[in-house]
Structure 1
């Protein structure tokens, strides 16, 4: 399966990109938005890593560890998704013309 390593690399690169973008901006709302986007990328990374490890090894211990990683990755992904929606609404509310 070549798709999981591609997702892993892309998500970790985007995670680093968004973390650097936080340092470049001074607006607190934009910083929170970029932090939420980085949380989504971190969740995608953890999920893809868990699935890749189970597909690669296919043992019982990798299944249990993969389930734990899937839970943590899913929590990061869902919280980031909710935060991105919230901060988009706030940005639109504050920047109406």
Structure 2
């Protein structure tokens, strides 16, 4: 498969469903955070965030970039850049309150 238009942050891509004519998902490098609280104390949960963007075909440039968020490899959720900034502000505010 030849990808003609790839974002500068892309480190990998996946054709879905295995046919580039059906589209390509571009992925950025993952940012990984081991969580201190886990459903299983012997196996820590891992929060992973990475950039992702969808191209309709291998020759199309990707559409809007979003942040792909998952915990321990399970299906997670997507955030727009604006939503990610809003979440970051909420987390910052709440973390300050938690330490008072």
Bin for the TM-score computed over the shorter chain:
0.3 to 0.5
TM-score normalized by structure 2?
Answer: 0.40
User: Higher strand share goes to which structure?
Assistant: 2
- What is the TM-score when the length of structure 1 is the normalising length? 0.41
Q: Which has the higher contact order (CA 8 A, sep 6+)?
A: 1
